Amino acid sequence: MIPTGSWFPRLISLFAVIILAGCAAQVDHKKANFHTTSFDKLPGWETADLTNSFTAFQKSCEALLKKQDTLNIHYACRAARTFTPDRSRAFFEAFFEPYHVNHGQEGLFTGYFEPVYDGAVEFSSEYRYPVYGVPLDLVTIDLGSFGVEAEESKLVGRVNEAATVVPYFTRADINRGAIEENAPVLAWLKDPVDRFFLHIQGSGKVALEDGTTRQIGYAGVNGHRYESIGKVLLERNELRKEDITMTTIRQWLYENPGKALTLQELNPRYVFFRELQTQSPVGSLGVPLTEKVSLAVDPAFIPLGVPVWLDIENIDTETSLLQTLAVAQDTGAAIKGPVRGDLYWGSGFAAGEKAGSMKSRGRYYVLLPKAIKTAIKTIRAD
């Protein structure tokens, strides 16, 4: 789901220049301000358990070390191999510098999870809703290879009878059978609402009748822009703004079966899946997600792979604030803006309850790599 393009590498290069220069206290990009701060000013940093965050960052490094080091992060990734989880705090303080990300107001933080839905490998009167793999006739055009720079660097479409590339079928077209001859079916689900939310989550497990499960993950989309049905329900006064969550939207769809399909089709974007061999869903960075650590972000503002300190409202009742170190490992079509995050809550019903009710206000701090010389001096000082 990553909207890559020539502007994204330039943004990461900008971060690297700022870090290496060690002189800019504030960065303005698309109305997002990055203010340098210190670890002792991060709310809750000193008492937080960073063990799972450190392990998740090591997973990020598996992907980052395979990419060009425009973020100056390879040094930190290699150093992470020499640290043990009990020295997590020392590692992050040695190799990273925190920046408060601010655009004048608190940001919005939602949750997502890995759903587990009942399904079958064969069509039947009970299991009627297909989960499609990538269609054979779907064509992806890389505009960069033609020398074209655009916000969306790739176009998705199909070749029609006149040998012309046209937009791919919409959700409504696909629901009416437009690709049933051209796309593999990975599984059949009982419930069309389950399938719709599987598209929103981007990955999930299908519990088959023989007791086994099939792990599926994002493989591609039909190229159409994501449209929020929650926004539509708000505009139609079906739900109040303060009440809109994943849980209340799902409830509305079940309570209004005659309108549910039409509403879903107002979002023309359609997700295609692939079968995964991992035990956990895989995010846009290409590594398995970690419960209550992996964070989906807008890569126009936050580079994938970096740690992000959260200071947000807690949906649990134990404490009023959730202060924890997440790692930017995923993206999402609805996750847009300088202070916007989607926290992964894990797999199954309980995780879905947490994710579905999460609509927290708060802020975050991105941890960007120090220059190599600065990191070495810090380690020696320790």
HEC-encoded secondary structure of 184-221: CEEEEECCHHHHHHHHHHCEEEEECCCCCEEEEEEEEE
Delimiting residues of CATH 2.40.240.50 domain(s) in the chain? 112-275
E strands within the chain? 26-29, 32-36, 96-102, 107-114, 116-120, 129-132, 139-142, 154-159, 165-167, 185-189, 203-207, 213-221, 271-275, 294-296, 307-313, 321-330, 340-347, 359-369
Delimiting residues of CATH 2.40.40.10 domain(s) in the chain? 7-111+285-381
Selection from 259, 129, 116 nearest residue 187 by Cα: 129
Asked whether the beta carbons of 229 and 265 are under 8 A apart, the reply is no
Q: So what's the pLDDT on residue 352? A: 84
Quick one: average pLDDT of 179-187? Answer: 96
Q: Which residue do the tokens 């020539």 mark?
A: 6
What percentage of the chain carries pLDDT values higher than 70?
87
Alpha-carbon 234 to chain mean position: 24
What percentage of the chain carries pLDDT values higher than 90?
66
Which span out of 147-161, 269-283, 293-307 was modeled with the highest average pLDDT?
A: 293-307
Q: What's the Rg (C-alpha) of the chain? A: 22
Q: Which residue do the tokens 């303060």 mark?
A: 242
Asked whether the beta carbons of 154 and 164 are under 8 A apart, the reply is no
CATH of 112-275, one of 3.40.50.150, 2.40.240.50, 3.40.50.200, 3.60.110.10: 2.40.240.50
Question: Which residues lie across from 120 on neighbouring strands?
Answer: 188
Alpha-carbon 128 to chain mean position: 29
pTM summary value: 0.70
Longest dimension (CA), the chain: 69
Selection from 226, 221, 229 nearest residue 264 by Cα: 229
Tens of pLDDT, residues 317-355: 667 889 999 999 999 888 999 999 999 998 888 888 888
Quick one: average pLDDT of 115-121? Answer: 92
Lowest pLDDT segment from 40-54, 240-254, 281-295, 310-324? 310-324
Quick one: average pLDDT of 3-32? Answer: 36
What does CATH list as the number for 7-111+285-381?
2.40.40.10
DSSP 112-140: EEE-EEEEESS--SS--EEEE---TT-EE
Does the pLDDT of residue 92 top 90, yes or no? yes
Q: Is the dihedral of CA 311, 317, 318, 319 positive or negative?
A: positive
Residue 378 and residue 162: Cα distance in Å, rounded?
A: 64
Percent helix, percent strand, percent coil in the chain, to nearest 5: 30, 30, 40
Tens of pLDDT, residues 244-269: 888 899 999 999 999 999 999 999 99
Question: Which residues lie across from 365 on neighbouring strands?
Answer: 100, 309
Does the pLDDT of residue 26 top 70, yes or no? no
Residue 4 and residue 295: Cα distance in Å, rounded?
A: 18
Average confidence score pLDDT of the chain: 86
Asked whether the beta carbons of 342 and 295 are under 8 A apart, the reply is yes
What is the distance between the terminal CA atoms of the chain, rounded to a whole angstrom? 41
Alpha-carbon 308 to chain mean position: 14
Nearest-5° angle of CA 244, CA 202, CA 192? 70
Nearest-10 crossing angle of helices 51-64, 88-95: 50
